[in-house]
Each structure stands twice: as structure tokens, then as C-alpha cells.
């Protein structure tokens, strides 16, 4: 079955062009012109992924995302935005978006980001037990720990000390990658490939935005910063 996309974009030319391109790429697309229609359609039939324009009249893309997240809807959201400031990108992440594309965009970049979001949203199959086997709790290797951080990848939970962290899907995966490679400097290309499945190139601010947002959630007043920037290379997780 083709993946379903709910596209909300108030610019008719962009909406029609993107709807055609997505359809030709094999997606089943429902295109609407504003946030009110987007919410109504999302409630009628949950799509596999949403593509939301940030700036729409009435209910904008950020508000649509906030409403869906407040309802417990974890459908991946890709934002389309003409806003290029870091603060604007962080606003999208705060609203619960998973990724963003800055206008004007290359449609191939949209395709790549959608593929990455859908891969990460795919359900992980439960391990199959033999019928005669009695279920036994097995916590060996369940938790990953480094630099005062602790994660339970199965339960998708993370803590700094005794404080539990509220992380989005992308933040969780980025933090898990850093913890599993604590003390190792990970270059930008490696992180892009492991988290998004696609290297967005040296001009992209995508990774810097996510690292900045993750730092805000991790860092405690007076405590050492955990994620360090290695200029011109990438990032490393370590204490001090």
C-alpha cells in the first residue's frame, strides 16, 4: 500500500506542484489549503505523514502540530517554512515537528526527508517467543548510560540523574547515538546518515538546531555541558 500524505499549503501553486510531485513519487496525497482543513482531515483519516506549511492564515502549521501532539498523535510532521532564523526552527521543534524544509526547496530533498521520517516511524516487530518458552524478564543490555545520562531504548525513556527528559523522536535518537558513542567525535555526515538517512550538505543548519534544542533539555544550571562542539568536525558527548 502506498504511504498517505496530508499536505497543507495555502499557496496554490506550491500546493498543486508538490501534490503532483508526491503523487508521481507513489504517495497517496490529500492536499488542503489551511490549518482548519488539515485538522479536520487528520481527524477523519490519520495519514502516514503530514507536510505542513508554517505560515497559513487562521490556524497555521505550528498550531496544527501543537493540537495533534496534545491529542497524543505522533504522526511524523515535516514543516515547510520560509523562515530561516534558528529561533523560527526551534519554534517548529517546540511545536512537535520532526523535521523541516526551507523554501525555496528542491523536491528531491522533500522526498528524502519523508523517506527518513517514514523509516523512523515504522513499527519495530516484537520478538517472537517459542510457544513452550516461559516469558522471563531480561534487563541485560537494556539500558545505555554515559556522562550521567541513562536511556531505556525499549521504553523510549531517558534521564539525566534523577530527572526524566521529555524528548521528541528525533531528539531521542540523536541522544542515543551520542551516548552509544560517548567520548567519540561524530562528524556531521555520520550523524546525518544515522539519524536522517541523508546528508543535507555543509550549508544545512538542521543538525545544529537539533543539537541546540537537545542541549536546552539536557543542561542543568551549574552542571557541566554534555554535548560539545568540535569546530569543523561534529559533536561529542562527554562530561567536562
Instruction: Give domain status of residue 85, yes or no.
Output: yes
Residue 108 lies in a domain: yes
Residue 99 lies in a domain: yes
184 & 81 share domain: no
H or E element at residue 53: strand 49-53
Chosen domain end from 85, 120, 155: 120
Question: Is 125 inside any structural domain?
Answer: no
Identify whether residues 25 and 86 lie together within a single domain: yes
Decide if 202 is inside a domain.
yes
- Domain assignment present for 178: yes
pTM higher than 0.75 for the full model? no
In a domain, 135, yes or no: no
How far apart, in Å, are the Cα atoms of 155 and each of 22, 143, 152, 158, 219?
A: 34, 10, 6, 9, 22
Q: How confident is the model at residue 71 (pLDDT cuts 50, 70, 90)?
A: confident
* Domain coverage including residue 27: 4-120
Q: How far apart are CA 218 and CA 43, in angstroms?
A: 34
Lowest-pLDDT range, 3-12, 19-28, 91-100, 227-236? 91-100
Per-residue pLDDT tens for 72-129?
888 999 999 887 666 666 777 778 888 888 888 889 989 998 998 888 776 544 444 4
Amino acid at each position: 500500500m502506498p504511504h498517505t500524505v496530508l499536505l497543507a499549503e495555502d499557496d496554490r501553486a506550491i500546493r498543486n506542484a508538490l501534490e503532483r510531485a508526491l503523487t508521481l513519487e507513489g504517495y497517496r496525497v490529500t492536499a488542503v489549503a489551511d490549518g482548519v482543513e488539515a485538522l479536520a482531515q487528520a481527524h477523519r483519516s490519520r495519514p502516514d505523514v503530514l507536510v505542513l506549511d508554517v505560515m497559513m492564515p487562521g490556524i497555521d502549521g505550528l498550531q496544527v502540530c501543537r493540537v495533534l501532539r496534545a491529542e497524543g498523535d505522533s504522526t511524523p510532521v515535516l514543516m515547510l517554512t520560509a523562515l530561516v532564523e534558528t529561533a523560527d526552527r526551534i519554534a517548529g521543534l517546540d511545536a512537535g515537528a520532526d523535521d523541516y524544509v526551507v523554501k525555496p526547496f528542491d523536491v528531491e530533498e522533500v522526498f528524502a526527508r519523508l523517506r527518513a521520517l517514514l523509516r523512523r516511524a515504522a513499527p519495530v516487530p516484537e520478538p517472537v517467543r517459542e510457544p513452550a518458552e516461559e516469558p522471563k524478564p531480561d534487563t541485560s543490555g537494556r539500558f545505555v548510560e554515559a556522562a550521567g545520562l541513562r536511556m531505556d531504548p525499549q521504553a523510549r525513556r531517558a534521564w539525566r540523574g534523577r530527572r526524566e527528559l521529555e524528548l521528541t523522536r528525533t531528539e531521542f535518537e540523536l541522544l542515543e547515538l551520542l551516548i552509544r558513542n560517548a567520548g567519540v567525535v561524530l562528524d556531521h555526515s555520520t550523524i546525518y546518515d544515522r539519524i536522517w538517512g541523508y546528508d543535507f550538505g555543509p550549508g544545512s543548519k538542521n543538525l545544529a538546531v537539533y543539537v541546540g534544542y537537545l542541549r536546552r533539555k539536557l543542561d542543568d544550571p551549574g552542571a557541566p555541558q554534555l554535548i560539545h562542539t568540535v569546530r569543523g568536525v561534529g559533536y561529542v558527548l562527554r562530561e567536562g
